[in-house]
Structure 1
């Protein structure tokens, strides 16, 4: 269920859960603080209940382990490949992470849908390639 051309993500609760789980499945680090994970998930939802559902679903599916305020990934090698999983489009967008106006939007293509747009530095932060 890809997002709309304007960069909106699917609005159904289940679609957001799947997108959030996909994002966690593609973390490019072995572990991170819960606060860092929540910061990344905020590009999917800012609803605390839905964020908890995303984390619970990822845990139940064996994607993450939660312990002492940290997340550890259980599956390695699922990094987002920029060449095939990131689409770049020209247009007028607003970054889902920082809210900046963009003329070039970067969209992550997951099995569950599309997440974006992001600016060139925010997409790296969301994926964990830049702190």
Structure 2
């Protein structure tokens, strides 16, 4: 692997970490079981090493606290996703990032660090903690 390729792969991992951290900061839950938190992170990456790095970084940055199989969200300065502004619908041929169902309308969440999606209408609400 050349340095250039390695650099791009590393930047891509860094981008996924930031996107997952934005997602965790926007969750509308006070606490979740660790498995449910991982379920949300896996909409960004399914790489187990990266999932662990995201959880560690979220704790280091004070976004979450882990305790006995539960993850508590810390709300200091965080804000929830505004569906009217931050969730964009697009027509097309998509598969939901959460459940894999085929979609003709994809819902994409716009974060400062990037875009996450597509999701179906119910999965985007579940991922963000609205349902």
Shift of 1:21: 0.6
The alignment's TM-score, normalised by the length of structure 1, stands at: 0.88
1:117 corresponds to which residue? 118
Structure (1 or 2) with the larger CA radius of gyration: 2
Q: Which SS does the other structure have where 1:72 is aligned? A: strand
CA distance in 2, matches of 1:128, 1:94: 20
Deviation at 1:75, TM superposition (A): 1.2
* Residues 1:69 and 2:69 are matched in the alignment: yes
User: Where does the alignment leave 5 or more consecutive residues of structure 1 unmatched?
Assistant: 1-10
SS of equivalent to 1:50: helix
CA distance, structure 2, for counterparts of residue 23 and residue 102 of structure 1: 22
Q: Secondary structure at the match of 2:94?
A: strand
Count of residue pairs brought into register by the alignment: 120
Partner of 2:86: 85
Give the root-mean-square deviation of aligned CA atoms. Answer: 1.2
1:100 partnered with 2:87: no
Q: Distance in 2 between matches of 1:43 and 1:74?
A: 21
Task: Give, in whole Å, the separation in 2 of the partners of 1:31 and 1:98.
Answer: 22
**Equivalent-residue separation in structure 2 for 1:45 and 1:69 (angstroms):** 20
Give CA-to-partner distance per residue, 1:91-125, whole Å, 9 cap, x none. 11111011111110000000100000000011011
Measured against aligned partners, the alpha-carbon deviations of 1:33-68 in whole angstroms (never above 9, x if no partner) come to: 000000111111111110011111111111111111
4+ residue runs over 2 A deviation: none
